[in-house]
Structure 1
Amino acid sequence: MATLVLGALGTLVGGPLGGAIGATLGRSLDAGIIGSSRREGPRLKELAVSTSSYGSAIPALYGRVRVPGTIIWASDLSERRESSGGGKGRPATTRYAYSVSLAVALSSRPIDGVGRIWADGNLLRGAAGDLKTGGVLRIHTGHADQLPDPLMAASIGARCPAYRGCAYAVFEDLALEDFGNRIPAISFEVFAGTAQAVVEDIARQASMESEGTGFPELGGFVHEGGGLAAVLSQVKGLRPIHAAMRDGHVIVAGDMAPEDVPMLPPAVAAPDGEFGRASGTALSRRQGASQGAGLLRYYDPTRDYQPGLQRSEGADGGETIEFPGVFQPEAARSLLAGAARREWLRGERLAWRTNRIDPALGPGSIVRAPGHPGLWQITTWEWRDTGIELDLARYAPAAGASQPADGGAAWSPPDRLPVETRLRAFELPWDGTGQNSVPQRYAAVSAPAGRWGGAMLYRESADTLVPIGHSGPQRAVGGILAEALPPSPGLRLEATARVRVRLDDYEAALEPAGLDAIARGSNRLLIGGEIVQFAQCEPEGNGIWQLCGLLRGRGGTEIEALAGHEPGAPVTLLDDRLVPLPAYPYPGDGDRIAAIGAGDDEPVLAEIENGGRTCRPLLPVHPRSEQDALGNLTLRWTRRARGGWSWPDGVEQPLVEQDELYEVGLGDPDRPARIWATPGPQLVLEAGEIAALGESDEGAALWVRQKGSFAVSPPLHLISLSTLAERKMP
């Protein structure tokens, strides 16, 4: 449907060319949402041979790329005869040397210049612009004032073209001794402006506006032909684009939603129930939506622009994207992960029937649907006597953080046997970043030393495993305590405290950190339920490390610090190698996560530790009590806030909860005899009430806990009634 709408609109705006581009955008939108059986672009070349054949396309180059070029003119081989020797009884030697002059077309659009040049894999021209063999090189950049090359003009005559708009290189008398007296396979490093605005450039040529279509990861792009619309079809696989209507113009937009996303009208029921069921709405997932892009082939600048390959995490099959662009390995892998993520999200479909709609909305528009969180994109619509039937797909926002990757090298990896997956799952106290109401749950997925490529993660639900995603090949750093860790009040840095840990992967390494780095959160370990930071580390061999300079009870885990830890307690390094777990559905203690790797015969299960820790207020501190001459008791304490890991001097910790509320209780916190509520960090009990409590609950303790927006904090002991009675004794 989008193909028809955008094709017609493009014809009205830009004529036949606009119609072609509009139709391509529509097909891109339809294929990106509805899916297609294949997702691949032009096959990447191995940059091996400079060709010369009629009808071959001369690519349009953007950014920094490497191309073999197309030979558009060449002279005959020039033979040079050199004689040496002879005389004094020695025979004369005749040596023949050959050279050639040729012109190689590089780009069908102007360029800025040429960098290195390779011939038979060796450098023919260095980065400084020096030729490594005999000959002269001239670069014609292809601008509008370009003149014919003098050597070609002398050979061809007045009919020699200037090739304006086409960049080419001319070698004059290129010596061929180093190449077996033949023309070598030549390839060029070409600089052609920036490739990040390739979509804007194409849209501008088609007299279209564009918005948000920048491609910051793209270092270079080779457009092999097929029309301007073909570029948009290639780009949309990695940098999604769609068409929208604004002020009567077609706008090529990126993967961003408008600031004000409209809400669809309520769904209306219909008796036939053919579309959206009888209620007028239906949520479904398209079959095979998760089988998206699995591999990406691209040009890798770290390998001198030879084709590189990146694999999507957790990909099992899937399509291969052949993208004629230059990416750093990290950018290529991140783009591929984003493409797989979009394929997964857009597999979620929503059918919606309504009786009215904003005329500005149409295929490609991003909307909200009542009762369905998130954003949706209209794929098709149809008017019927029962209402307007809309097909929507889950809108995929821009990708998140980049993923580490390596372009690889020409070497064979050692044959190592697969190892079993190690898994630990837990919820952490809120660290002050992100939303304080979203549970910060993570999985530490690792393995001992050996071949391990990551594991698929699942959530256990009603004796079934629900997929979460792939952990990726990077291992979390974890292990166990090699010896007991004694209790600690966790009040200050314990410079002489030591602990020994045994890491699962003996090849893993820990790094020391200074006090400033520790203050910024470096070197955090989750030991049992306690967060510990360490300053120094020393390997002892076989995966055993001795850590010293400990800061205990971080993030409100001082209760666990006071309890200490036995040998064998789990240890996990809290860094970016942890895998974030979905925030919802929200499990608590006892719910389990599963991991299955290549070396696992059965799923590896782990319970989620410390459920609810993110939203639980911290334990109040500094209990104080005062009793005046009349016997009235004033109880005071100091509030703490979630995310407040530091204690800035002279500044009160900001309140994270919706309201500041406390419960002061008497007796067992699980079954209190009395409860008092107070909005501030103090409570006054009159003398008569104290006396009555002493008679009814002799010796019971008074405690306080903070009531947060989602949970209550652990109780803080304030004072016991027996202590008050002892104060009255003479």
Structure 2
Amino acid sequence: MATLVLGALGTLVGGPLGGALGATLGRSLDAMIIGSPRREGPRLKELAVSTSSYGQPVPALYGKTRVAGTVIWATDLEERRETSGGGKGKPRTTSYSYSVSLAVALSSRPIDAVGRIWADGNLLRGRAGDLKTGGTLRCHSGHADQQPDPLMAAAIGPQCPAHRGCAYVVFEDLALEDFGNRIPALSFEVLASPASGLVPDIAALGDMDSSNAAFPELAGFIHEGGSPAQVLALVDRLRPLAVTEPAGIASIEGIVTPGGDIPMLPLPSAWEEGEFGREDGRTLSRRSGPAGALSALRYYDPVRDYQPGLQRAEGLEPARGQEVLEFPGTFSASDARSLVALASAREQQDREQLAWRMAELDPDLGPGSIVRAPGQTGLWRITGWEWRERGIELELVRFVAPSPASVAGDGGSAWTPADRDAVATRLRAFELPWDGIGSSASVQRYVALGAPTGRWSGAALYRSSGAALEPLAQGGPVRAVSGTLLDAVGPNPGLRLDPAATLRLALDDAESELEPATTTALALGANRLLVGSEVLQFAQAEPEGGGVWRLAGLLRGRGGTEREALAGHAPGTPATLLDERLLALPSDLSLAQGDRLAAIGLAEDEPVTAILEDAGRSRRLPFPVHPRSAIDAQGALTLGWTRRARGGWAWLDEVDQPLVEQVEAYEVGLGAPDTPAALWTVSAPCLVLSAAEVANLSALHPGEPLWVRQKGSFAKSAPLYLATLPALA
């Protein structure tokens, strides 16, 4: 519309601003000043990554959208090292971790908040505002009273800018272990003032008013390049705009379906004018051909985490000369499809054009007005006017009111990283019977580090002595399989595999799984489960849903834990799968009275602590078995038993288990094991008491039990009941 800019509005406003005003007409724009509406301006981009380079624009953000941001300040990588282990021939392990502090500019206008943050495509910050890795995040909204960030001020000094008018975030000590010890590619979900008011905000940049120009379908917009005139021209493709000048002030207005009576143009005025066309003052024409027809719209789809989406106009496929509109805005799939369908229909309607000449102009009519024309059917929209010496010439296009019905659209599916809340670390520490591998003096202590279902990336393990924490190891992110018993488990002698025996177990992590095992695999040590202090094995594992498993085919009392099997277990007893997911503690680790083990994960403000269960079990012998007693004709008592050895769980046929202690020794007692009335030490698995000794002991200690326990190089076994004196007297 060269006539609009070069004529009335250009004269009224003048200067460069007159050109900007003309640009707001969209389809009625002055091609000579701002070019076609298809000229390059703000453009939709694929998901970018944060960069730092001179001259890179910081976009102005509206509504809800996703932006990569620009790194405006950063520290060098900070290295931390932590040493653990060592002693008893084992090397000390030094682990290194790195962190960085940086500031990222997001928007050149104030924002309301920062939502999710992605790092290398994975969530770094969830919807709840939780960081998925170590570090601290501070958000600066960019308002006029914004103060310098304290970390940046401490590093830069008094010259540190407050960056007022620029929204940015600061990461302090962002842990880089999850990103290969480098700064990851970041992108941010930003929430700013509603994008539905984009047109008034842009119009205000050119000192223009705006009314009836809301864009309700627009949920977000990225103004990264192009003048305000180009932005308005782009909006006009989807939401038609017009320029009016009530009271001599230019105003941007949206074109809406009129209500009430539609104005009727006066009859055309006829005079000779070669440039206009026919002398009768009217010309009806129609452009032909599909050149430049809008066939599709590319936009940002919030359902797909703001990845670009594409919606096509109904019945139109991309072809030569047809256009895909790149719009850097956020729409729902249905809104995007409805908008491109209406825009395509409007372009079809705009091919029918009407030139109308009249002697004078009604002040209520102007560009954007919807009118009727004598002798013409339907409605027409004024797209421009031109003053002539004898009157005014109008240019009009066919107007058809858009359908209020929305067109359903589908944005398709996209991979979305899981946004799971951080969960607290579960810690259990225990000592197991020696398994016969390595030195018999070794101590086999383990830690089960795990967590319930949720986000958990491991935890650091410490020894807690008073208020001090001594680092031991770093565990994770593989979780130990642990849980609790749902039902009571009755006593069992643990002599053989019981196919009918079952237990129900609720795992901490509902996503963990258990596997069945054959009897051969059980014989080789598969499916060992520590329930309370008992080691058992299971042959079948059946999930019941929700992390609950039914285990069947139990082999109880493994590893010398027959006493624990005979005691049974109450509901709620902890259970842990004994496999490679456990973390072994240093064999030379000393735990004084009151010392505990502690773990700290991302979800912990305070350490999670646990006491070592069954301390000393690795070096404690299993109690002897097969008690025997007999009295000969003279009244002498012969006691016998069968020894066992640590690590000898295979029960080899016809072969005695090798003794791993320095000497073979037994302690036979009478009465309570803690305070025996009599005690004998023997080096063979038998003891003979003469008839006189039996008679004397029976008289002094009637009803007292006789028992035996094996003495090892480091500890004694639990006692085995042998006989009771009164029954033998």
User: TM-score scaled to structure 2, two decimals?
Assistant: 0.52
CA contact (8 A) 2:268 2:280 kept: yes
Question: In the alignment, which residue of structure 2 is the partner of 1:392?
Answer: 396
Deviations 1:338-364 (A, max 9, x none): 110110111111122333433554444
1:2 is displaced (CA, Å) by 4.9
Question: In the alignment, which residue of structure 1 is the partner of 2:120?
Answer: 120
CA contact (8 A) 2:311 2:337 kept: yes
Partner Cα separation in structure 1 for residue 29 and residue 180 of structure 2 = 53
CA contact (8 A) 2:5 2:18 kept: no
2:66 aligned with 1:66, yes or no? yes
What residue identity is the alignment partner of 1:294? Answer: S
Question: In the alignment, which residue of structure 2 is the partner of 1:281?
Answer: 282
Relative to 1, partners in 2 of residues 1:229 and 1:69: Cα closer, same or farther, differing over 3 Å?
same
CA contact (8 A) 2:64 2:190 kept: yes
What residue identity is the alignment partner of 1:376? Answer: W
Partner Cα separation in structure 2 for residue 11 and residue 155 of structure 1 = 54
Question: In the alignment, which residue of structure 1 is the partner of 2:325?
Answer: 321
Structure 1 stretch displaced more, 388-397 or 136-145: 388-397
Question: In the alignment, which residue of structure 1 is the partner of 2:246?
Answer: 246
CA contact (8 A) 2:208 2:250 kept: yes
Partner Cα separation in structure 2 for residue 194 and residue 356 of structure 1 = 42
Partner Cα separation in structure 2 for residue 52 and residue 7 of structure 1 = 45
Relative to 1, partners in 2 of residues 1:41 and 1:332: Cα closer, same or farther, differing over 3 Å?
farther
1:36 is displaced (CA, Å) by 4.6
Partner Cα separation in structure 1 for residue 289 and residue 41 of structure 2 = 21
CA contact (8 A) 2:4 2:10 kept: no
What residue identity is the alignment partner of 1:221? Answer: F
Question: In the alignment, which residue of structure 1 is the partner of 2:214?
Answer: 214
CA contact (8 A) 2:22 2:30 kept: no
Relative to 1, partners in 2 of residues 1:409 and 1:385: Cα closer, same or farther, differing over 3 Å?
same
Q: How do 1:138-153 residues align onto structure 2 when only pairs under 5 Å count? A: 138-153=138-153
Partner Cα separation in structure 1 for residue 271 and residue 12 of structure 2 = 37
Question: In the alignment, which residue of structure 1 is the partner of 2:405?
Answer: 401
Structure 1 stretch displaced more, 266-275 or 332-341: 266-275
Deviations 1:52-87 (A, max 9, x none): 111111111111111111111111111112222221
Question: In the alignment, which residue of structure 1 is the partner of 2:381?
Answer: 377
Relative to 1, partners in 2 of residues 1:48 and 1:213: Cα closer, same or farther, differing over 3 Å?
same
What residue identity is the alignment partner of 2:29? Answer: D
Question: In the alignment, which residue of structure 2 is the partner of 1:19?
Answer: 18
1:282 is displaced (CA, Å) by 2.5
CA contact (8 A) 2:26 2:234 kept: no
Relative to 1, partners in 2 of residues 1:250 and 1:395: Cα closer, same or farther, differing over 3 Å?
farther
Partner Cα separation in structure 2 for residue 201 and residue 248 of structure 1 = 20
User: What SS class does the counterpart of residue 335 from structure 1 fall into?
Assistant: helix
Q: 1:343 aligns with which of 328, 340, 347?
A: 347
Deviations 1:639-695 (A, max 9, x none): xxxxxxxxxxxxxxxxxxxxxxxxxxxxxxxxxxxxxxxxxxxxxxxxxxxxxxxxx
Relative to 1, partners in 2 of residues 1:16 and 1:386: Cα closer, same or farther, differing over 3 Å?
closer
CA contact (8 A) 1:63 1:193 kept: yes
User: What SS class does the counterpart of residue 103 from structure 1 fall into?
Assistant: strand
CA contact (8 A) 1:300 1:326 kept: yes
CA RMSD of aligned residues (A): 2.9
Relative to 1, partners in 2 of residues 1:79 and 1:333: Cα closer, same or farther, differing over 3 Å?
same
Structure 1 stretch displaced more, 243-252 or 376-385: 376-385
Partner Cα separation in structure 1 for residue 254 and residue 108 of structure 2 = 26
1:25 is displaced (CA, Å) by 1.4
Question: In the alignment, which residue of structure 2 is the partner of 1:358?
Answer: 362
What residue identity is the alignment partner of 1:333? Answer: R
Deviations 1:450-496 (A, max 9, x none): xxxxxxxxxxxxxxxxxxxxxxxxxxxxxxxxxxxxxxxxxxxxxxx
CA contact (8 A) 2:44 2:329 kept: no
User: What SS class does the counterpart of residue 81 from structure 1 fall into?
Assistant: strand
1:286 is displaced (CA, Å) by 1.2
2:140 aligned with 1:136, yes or no? no
Deviations 1:433-452 (A, max 9, x none): xxxxxxxxxxxxxxxxxxxx
1:235 is displaced (CA, Å) by 1.3
Question: In the alignment, which residue of structure 2 is the partner of 1:627?
Answer: none
Partner Cα separation in structure 1 for residue 86 and residue 236 of structure 2 = 70
Deviations 1:694-726 (A, max 9, x none): xxxxxxxxxxxxxxxxxxxxxxxxxxxxxxxxx
Partner Cα separation in structure 1 for residue 290 and residue 30 of structure 2 = 12
1:200 is displaced (CA, Å) by 1.7
Deviations 1:139-192 (A, max 9, x none): 001111110001111111111100011110000010000000111011111111
Question: In the alignment, which residue of structure 1 is the partner of 2:372?
Answer: 368
Relative to 1, partners in 2 of residues 1:373 and 1:3: Cα closer, same or farther, differing over 3 Å?
same
CA contact (8 A) 2:255 2:368 kept: no
**Percentage of identical aligned residues:** 64
Deviations 1:560-591 (A, max 9, x none): xxxxxxxxxxxxxxxxxxxxxxxxxxxxxxxx
CA contact (8 A) 2:4 2:385 kept: no
User: TM-score scaled to structure 1, two decimals?
Assistant: 0.52
Query: If you compute each CA radius of gyration, which structure gives the higher value, 1 or 2?
Result: 2
Q: How do 1:93-108 residues align onto structure 2 when only pairs under 5 Å count? A: 93-108=93-108
User: What SS class does the counterpart of residue 45 from structure 1 fall into?
Assistant: coil
Relative to 1, partners in 2 of residues 1:224 and 1:370: Cα closer, same or farther, differing over 3 Å?
same
Partner Cα separation in structure 2 for residue 37 and residue 268 of structure 1 = 32
Q: How do 1:490-505 residues align onto structure 2 when only pairs under 5 Å count? A: none
Structure 1 stretch displaced more, 151-160 or 40-49: 40-49
1:3 is displaced (CA, Å) by 6.6
Relative to 1, partners in 2 of residues 1:21 and 1:397: Cα closer, same or farther, differing over 3 Å?
farther
What residue identity is the alignment partner of 2:352? Answer: E
CA contact (8 A) 1:111 1:191 kept: yes
Partner Cα separation in structure 2 for residue 208 and residue 179 of structure 1 = 48
Q: How do 1:252-291 residues align onto structure 2 when only pairs under 5 Å count? A: 252-259=252-259, 261-270=262-271, 275-288=276-289, 291=292
1:290 is displaced (CA, Å) by 7.3
Partner Cα separation in structure 1 for residue 412 and residue 41 of structure 2 = 23
CA contact (8 A) 2:212 2:253 kept: yes
CA contact (8 A) 1:50 1:68 kept: yes
2:334 aligned with 1:330, yes or no? yes
CA contact (8 A) 2:282 2:357 kept: yes
Q: How do 1:266-665 residues align onto structure 2 when only pairs under 5 Å count? A: 266-270=267-271, 275-288=276-289, 291-316=292-317, 317=319, 318-358=322-362, 361-382=365-386, 388-410=392-414
CA contact (8 A) 2:298 2:325 kept: yes
Relative to 1, partners in 2 of residues 1:387 and 1:243: Cα closer, same or farther, differing over 3 Å?
closer
CA contact (8 A) 2:234 2:327 kept: yes
1:251 is displaced (CA, Å) by 1.7
What residue identity is the alignment partner of 1:23? Answer: G
What residue identity is the alignment partner of 1:223? Answer: H
User: What SS class does the counterpart of residue 24 from structure 2 fall into?
Assistant: helix
Relative to 1, partners in 2 of residues 1:8 and 1:18: Cα closer, same or farther, differing over 3 Å?
farther
2:48 aligned with 1:44, yes or no? no
What residue identity is the alignment partner of 2:20? Answer: I
Partner Cα separation in structure 2 for residue 91 and residue 300 of structure 1 = 53
User: What SS class does the counterpart of residue 372 from structure 1 fall into?
Assistant: coil
What is the count of residue pairs matched by the alignment? 410
Partner Cα separation in structure 2 for residue 233 and residue 385 of structure 1 = 31
1:42 is displaced (CA, Å) by 3.3
User: What SS class does the counterpart of residue 114 from structure 1 fall into?
Assistant: strand
Question: In the alignment, which residue of structure 2 is the partner of 1:696?
Answer: none
Relative to 1, partners in 2 of residues 1:135 and 1:20: Cα closer, same or farther, differing over 3 Å?
farther
Relative to 1, partners in 2 of residues 1:42 and 1:202: Cα closer, same or farther, differing over 3 Å?
closer
Partner Cα separation in structure 2 for residue 325 and residue 276 of structure 1 = 41
User: What SS class does the counterpart of residue 315 from structure 1 fall into?
Assistant: coil
**Structure 1 portions without partners, runs of 5+:** 412-730
Deviations 1:209-239 (A, max 9, x none): 2111111111111111333333212211111
CA contact (8 A) 1:7 1:19 kept: no
Deviations 1:226-276 (A, max 9, x none): 333332122111111111232222221112155554322212445677744
Deviations 1:622-650 (A, max 9, x none): xxxxxxxxxxxxxxxxxxxxxxxxxxxxx
Partner Cα separation in structure 1 for residue 29 and residue 21 of structure 2 = 12
Partner Cα separation in structure 1 for residue 276 and residue 227 of structure 2 = 39
Partner Cα separation in structure 1 for residue 403 and residue 142 of structure 2 = 37
Partner Cα separation in structure 2 for residue 399 and residue 236 of structure 1 = 18
User: What SS class does the counterpart of residue 43 from structure 1 fall into?
Assistant: coil
Structure 1 stretch displaced more, 364-373 or 119-128: 364-373
Relative to 1, partners in 2 of residues 1:6 and 1:120: Cα closer, same or farther, differing over 3 Å?
farther
